[in-house]
Structure 1
Amino acid sequence: MTRRPLDWLIFVSIGLVAGLLSGLFGVGGGILIVPALVLAARFDPRLASGTSLAAIVPISLIGVVSYAATGNVDWAAALLLAIGAIVGAQIGTHLLAILPRRAIQWGFIGFIAVVVVSLFLVIPSRDASVELNLLSMGALVLTGLVVGVLSGLLGIGGGAVIVPVLILLFGASDLVAKGTSLLVMVPTAISGTFGNARRRNVDIGAAAVIGISACATTALGAIAAAALSPLVANILFAAFLIAVGVQLVVRALKRN
């Protein structure tokens, strides 16, 4: 596929913003990368989803290092989530290859709406922690499975699900939830990317540029997350998601 010089500039710009959002909110950045590739780089939604998931690998790695440096990663919870997520990512990439394009687009819009609502329901405490028992361990694996399916299907790292779920259902602080979320995304994104590559649903060149560019701003986002209050962080993220959702709705309606 022939690339315009503008395309590479778009990829770098997407990466810089995605990296900042990743560190700030504990997301892989797919919530920005997918619509940005569709709207600005004219990617097919399937290719955008697969490319986004590949770009999330380096983004998440840098994010994990940033949060782990301050002790804000729950390694045990991350392992349990990852077990389910790796399996779920393969299911999601399979669905990505067979579901209609319009279904994927509206599914992503619906996902954004759910996340926005959850952000106003969950205001976390910085002193909270995850307590593990048989019930919570099973619930973490199941949560990981759902996150994996969403990752493979929508090209997101799953942080927009993991972070509020860890806070609301498992009692994690917002910073631990974000750090743990980023750790889970590493094996999830790798698993999903292998599935997408087999089905030719990933642009490796674009993913590499986006991912490497994002590494320049991810640590900065993590520093900002610690400086902001949980309430302010939730409001900012919700505002961003609403703007993205409106753009995608307009685009989807034009196709009807």
Structure 2
Amino acid sequence: MSIFFYTAVGLISATFGSLVGLGGGIIIVPALVYLGPLLLGQPISVANAVGTSLAVLIFTALSSTLTFVKQKRVDFKSGWIYFITCGPGSMLGAYTTQFINAKSFQLSFGIFMLFMAILLIIRDRLKPLNVKWRIERTYTDSQGKIFQYGYSLLPALAIGLAVGFISGLFGIGGGSLFVPAMVLLFRYPPHVATATSMFVILLSSIMGSFTHLGLGEVDLWMVLGLAPSAVVGGWLGALIASRLSSSALLWVLRITFVVVAIKMIWEGLTIS
């Protein structure tokens, strides 16, 4: 039963997580906390679930990032800029896990996620931000459509810090904030936003995992159980993403963020 549980959770979370740039922790953490006692015969604390999820995320992000690199969808220049603050932010978030009231934070973050989801839904009706960013980029998708996007150093560093902190705190990768911010604020095409998000998540999850490991919040046996299928799922999710058009991937993002927001609000209101 444990082998089936690890395989299913690792595969599903990694496939879905790499498809939309979340990382998969949004599935791993509740699966370990709520299903672990039933299927593994042992209670798993939220802190251990978060730490273990973040460690597994290394394998998911590595697999999907390598696939995205082959597809030439990772913007490494902007990715390294985000990581300057995302890495330390991940370590800070991981350290804060032991102090914060996770219930109230889940509620607040869930409401914020719902707001971001609504922005993604009405995105086509919104006027683009009248901002000429200092750094400009262009990207041509598989259908020949040309996208122009850009960013500036200080906003990019601020977003990286917020993403890293959330990643370390919840073990969810941070893409739930990263991808919509990149798409809505900097006008990244969805494919580039997803791919670049996974690259930054790979780097920040390594740093956050070391902090959780130092606090004794990583179950290495669980990591070994989840990692093999997570590697396959990371590759599969990136492959599926490459087959979707930009508009189709954007709709997947919209639905995903609504579901994640509702889940976090529900847990913030009901779970003791």
CA displacement 1:61-107 (0-9 Å, x = unmatched) = 11111111111010110000011101111221121011134335435
**What amino acid is aligned across from residue 17 of structure 2 in structure 1?**
S
What pairs with 1:124-143 in structure 2 (closer than 5 Å)? 126=141, 127-131=146-150, 136-143=152-159
**What amino acid is aligned across from residue 179 of structure 1 in structure 2?**
A
1:30 aligns with 2:31: no
Query: Offset at 1:114?
Result: 4.2
- Residues 40, 193 of structure 1: CA spacing in aligned structure 2 closer, same or farther, 3 A cutoff? same
What SS class does the counterpart of residue 131 from structure 1 fall into? Answer: strand
Name the residue aligned to 1:100.
101
Unaligned runs of 5+ residues in structure 2 are 38-43, 129-138
Tell me the distance in 2 between the aligned counterparts of 1:145 and 1:247: 24
2:166 to 147, 150, 163: 150
1:159 to 161, 175, 178: 175
**What amino acid is aligned across from residue 166 of structure 1 in structure 2?**
M
Query: Aligned Cα RMSD in Å?
Result: 2.6
CA displacement 1:168-189 (0-9 Å, x = unmatched) = 2222211111111111011210
**What amino acid is aligned across from residue 55 of structure 2 in structure 1?**
A
Tell me the distance in 2 between the aligned counterparts of 1:122 and 1:88: 28
Q: Which has the larger radius of gyration?
A: 2
Tell me the distance in 2 between the aligned counterparts of 1:103 and 1:117: 22
Name the residue aligned to 1:60.
61
Identity of aligned residues (%): 28
- Between Structure 1 and Structure 2, the one with more strand by share is 2
Name the residue aligned to 1:70.
71
Q: TM-score normalized by structure 1?
A: 0.85
1:171 aligns with 2:170: no
**What amino acid is aligned across from residue 154 of structure 2 in structure 1?**
G
Tell me the distance in 1 between the aligned counterparts of 2:220 and 2:119: 33
- Between Structure 1 and Structure 2, the one with more helix by share is 1
Q: TM-score normalized by structure 2?
A: 0.80
What pairs with 1:186-225 in structure 2 (closer than 5 Å)? 186-225=202-241
Tell me the distance in 1 between the aligned counterparts of 2:60 and 2:12: 11
Tell me the distance in 2 between the aligned counterparts of 1:244 and 1:60: 19
